Amino acid sequence: MISESELLFQLGAIMLLAFIAATMARKLNQTVMIGYIIIGVLIGPKMSISLFGLDYHGLITDTTMIDLLSSVGLIMLMFFVGLEFSFTKLKKVRTPAVILAVIDTSVGLFAGFVFASFLGWPLIDSLFLAGVIAMSSTSIAMKVLFDLKRMSSPEVEFLIGIVVVETFIAMLILAVASGMIVNPGASPMGYGRLLIGMGAFYAFFVWVAIWAVPRVVAFFDKIDSDELFILFALGIVFLTAGMASLMNVPPIIGAFFIGMILAESKVTGRVQAKLESFKDAFVAIFFTAFGMMIDPAMFKSIFWMVLLAVPMVILYEAFVMSSISMFLGFSSRASTTIGTSMCGRGVEAILYASVGSRVKGATMGAQLNPFAGAFCFVMSAITPFLVKHSASLASGLSRLLPKSIKFSSVVISRTLGRVVLPSDFRSFKGTNIIAVLLASFAVTCIILIATSSFAHLVFAIVGAGITIGILLATRNEITDVVRHINYNNIGVGAMDRRPIVMLVSGVVFGAAAFTLMIAVSWSLMWPLAVALAAGYVIFVVCLMIWAYHALYVEGSDIPQKIYSMPGPIGTILPEDAIPDVLAPAYGTVRASLNEVIPQIRTNASEDEQLFPLELDSDPRT
């Protein structure tokens, strides 16, 4: 049992040293989380140094009480993460944010599982290692964009939505993973009961959001005393965390959900203002305690793991996610900004490592913690450089890519951008059939990975049927969309739009088909899954080359981007720059502009999709 004096010494040492480490981290333009973790390693019980005959084994040897206090910090951290989640904020960007968040999480988890399988880690440890690899950091992404003064860029609004949705998905995965750990030997039916239990847990919080919170918020507003307000708020947070724990759900999930529910209320600002300092103090203890769990002697064994993981994450975030963002209608520069900003790793990754190293059945915690710490440090240091040079990266990739790939990318971007990105001008009615099919497909793939024998075969057949349904629904939707898009100014000379339909629907169908094959083959042979992923890339490239030859007309180049209005009077223009117009021209031009402005806005080139061209009411200006 730790003594009172020892406990007070530990708290004082942690607070003061954490302050020093955080100050140094800020001066080095790093997140304070890194400073907390480093100081935790230095004062923790696993630190052992012999120098000039002197032995040092850490300032803190008994971490029992510190671990309890760090749990409080983790609960407060997830409560504040929930407060940042707002469905209202996602209304404008919900479609692209949800799509990119799901794709980013799926690709990241796939890369993480491949990495864990290569290392030979058990299933439970692989799940948490994949979480460390996959979960992007909200705080690091926002800090980098703020430091670079890019918070006003149009794509930042979408990026915020992406990381918020990704955090929500991370909590769902963590809750399911924790249920698997409670009974690691469960059968597929056991997992089914687990999912039913999880559904009941979420249904309870839906009831809380609909019935309980409005009444509680009304009572909140009547509390004038800050002291009573803080006590009542903390009571709600810890009570919901305790109820979640009783249902075999991690307490942090309960804290996250009550924060998410309160985020839509009018007391959010007051809760954040009054509890912010309390949260910061305990979060510092949490990250310092996480550092104490790291054995410095393990850094040698995880050094090569970090060397492999860092380029893998940069590849799929900065290149793969940037390409997918461009396919969905973002400009090349906005796409690379989104991709590079998602490279940061921080709180979410540390959370997975912290939970994964303590759970029952985990055997690789000694490696997981130091890997997560070193990995997050490297990624948080690299991300600002990548975001700062994202425009150069986009320009470099544009010069390297062949013309056929660039042409087909623009066609796909213009088509899917009309469907995905928010727009005030839509000449077609969207359908929810594709969304339902994709959700069903995702559930089917998860079940395929977790099942075997006869059930595996049954769900494989079901998945094949859903994949065909995705193809048919996508083809019908895209056929309707392409009728209302002007492709002539990007070099499409063919009057037949069927190649465009085949190109776009083929990319979507190919993604579903290859994902299904990966899910079917994963339990049999994981290297085959990697080969299938590479096969999808080859399939898309071949499809884009075919579309280029079917659609592109020689001599018709993609028009130059418009960055400004024409130059001052006296500027010499080419003879064919301004076509001959019969006088008087003003009324004719004005009428023409009124007719084509909506079409200009709808069919803007890749940069103009996020930076729409605005014309003055008087075209002579």
Q: Are 598 and 614 in contact (CB under 8 A)?
A: no
Q: Determine the pLDDT at residue 574.
A: 47
> What is the rounded CA–CA span in Å between residue 190 and residue 193?
5
Query: pTM of the entire structure?
Result: 0.74
Mean pLDDT across 100-117: 89
pLDDT in tens, 152-175: 677 777 887 787 788 778 777 776
Q: Are 263 and 83 in contact (CB under 8 A)?
A: yes
Q: Are 430 and 481 in contact (CB under 8 A)?
A: no
Query: Per-residue confidence at 600, pLDDT binned at 50, 70, 90?
Result: very low
Question: What are the φ/ψ torsions at residue 156 (nearest 5 degrees)?
Answer: -65, -35
> What is the rounded CA–CA span in Å between residue 189 and residue 196?
11
In this structure, what token pair is assigned to residue 409?
């990318």
Provide the β-strand partners of residue 55. Answer: 50
538 pLDDT more than 90:
yes
Higher pLDDT, 592 or 97: 97
Residue in the structure block whose two tokens are 């009542």: 232
Q: Determine the pLDDT at residue 424.
A: 52
CA angle, 611 then 616 then 620, to 5°: 125
> What is the rounded CA–CA span in Å between residue 164 and residue 584?
55
Mean pLDDT across 9-38: 85
Q: Determine the pLDDT at residue 133.
A: 92
Cis peptide before 619 (omega within 30 of 0): no
3-state secondary structure of 547: helix
Rg (CA), the chain: 27
Mean pLDDT across 68-97: 77
pLDDT in tens, 353-366: 888 887 777 788 78
> What is the rounded CA–CA span in Å between residue 145 and residue 156?
8
Q: Determine the pLDDT at residue 151.
A: 67
Q: Give the other-Cβ count within 10 Å of 100's Cβ.
A: 27
> What is the rounded CA–CA span in Å between residue 228 and residue 415?
55
In this structure, what token pair is assigned to residue 393?
């990266």
Q: Determine the pLDDT at residue 462.
A: 92
Least confident segment among 29-38, 536-545, 599-608: 599-608
Query: Per-residue confidence at 466, pLDDT binned at 50, 70, 90?
Result: very high
Least confident segment among 24-33, 130-139, 582-591: 582-591
610 pLDDT more than 70:
no
Q: Determine the pLDDT at residue 354.
A: 82
> What is the rounded CA–CA span in Å between residue 137 and residue 30?
13
Q: Which residues contact 510 (CB under 8 A, 6 or more apart)?
A: 536, 539, 540, 543
Residue 515: alpha-carbon gap to chain centroid: 19
68 pLDDT more than 70:
yes
Q: Determine the pLDDT at residue 503.
A: 92
For the structural domain made of 1-400, what CATH number should be given?
1.20.1530.20
Q: Please tell me the number of Cα atoms within 13 Å of 495 on its side-chain side.
A: 0
Higher pLDDT, 174 or 466: 466
Residue 76: alpha-carbon gap to chain centroid: 22
> What is the rounded CA–CA span in Å between residue 413 and residue 239?
48
Output DSSP code: residue 46. Answer: T
> What is the rounded CA–CA span in Å between residue 79 and residue 260?
8
Q: Determine the pLDDT at residue 86.
A: 65
Higher pLDDT, 548 or 214: 548
Higher pLDDT, 312 or 286: 312
Q: Residues of 119-136 as b/e, b for ≥16 C-beta within 10 angstroms?
A: eebeebbbbbbbbbbbbb
The segment with the largest mean pLDDT, out of 66-75, 95-104, 399-408, is 399-408
Q: What type of residue is 166?
A: E
Least Cα distance to 475 among 427, 448, 508 occurs for 508
Q: Determine the pLDDT at residue 215.
A: 73
Q: Are 608 and 562 in contact (CB under 8 A)?
A: yes
Q: Which residues contact 528 (CB under 8 A, 6 or more apart)?
A: 521
Q: Give the other-Cβ count within 10 Å of 453's Cβ.
A: 8
Output DSSP code: residue 359. Answer: S
Tell me the C-alpha to C-alpha distance, in Å, between residue 540 and each of 108, 328, 442, 499.
20, 15, 21, 14
Q: Determine the pLDDT at residue 192.
A: 57
582 pLDDT more than 50:
no
pLDDT in tens, 215-235: 777 777 778 888 888 888 888
pLDDT in tens, 418-428: 887 765 544 44
Instruction: Extract long-range pairs of 432-440: CB within 8 Å, 24+ residues apart.
Output: 433/473, 434/470, 434/473, 434/474, 434/477, 437/466, 437/469, 437/470, 437/473, 438/470, 438/512, 440/466
Share of the chain above pLDDT 90, in %: 11
Provide the β-strand partners of residue 50. Answer: 55
Q: Determine the pLDDT at residue 443.
A: 82
570 pLDDT more than 50:
no
Least Cα distance to 31 among 346, 303, 367 occurs for 346
Tell me the C-alpha to C-alpha distance, in Å, between residue 143 and each of 29, 104, 137, 149, 269.
10, 20, 10, 10, 21
3-state secondary structure of 552: strand
Looking at every residue in the chain, the average pLDDT score rounds to 77
N- to C-terminal Cα distance for the chain?
81
User: What DSSP assignment string belongs to 439-496?
Assistant: HHHHHHHHHHHH--HHHHHHHHHHHHHHHHHHHHHHHHHHHHHHTT---GGGTB--S-
Strand runs (DSSP E) across 224-282, as ranges? none
pLDDT in tens, 234-266: 888 888 888 777 776 778 778 888 887 787 777
Mean pLDDT across 570-574: 46
Sequence spans of domains, the chain = 1-400, 415-559, 573-621
606 pLDDT more than 60:
no
> What is the rounded CA–CA span in Å between residue 140 and residue 342?
9
Query: Per-residue confidence at 284, pLDDT binned at 50, 70, 90?
Result: confident
pLDDT in tens, 559-569: 444 444 444 44
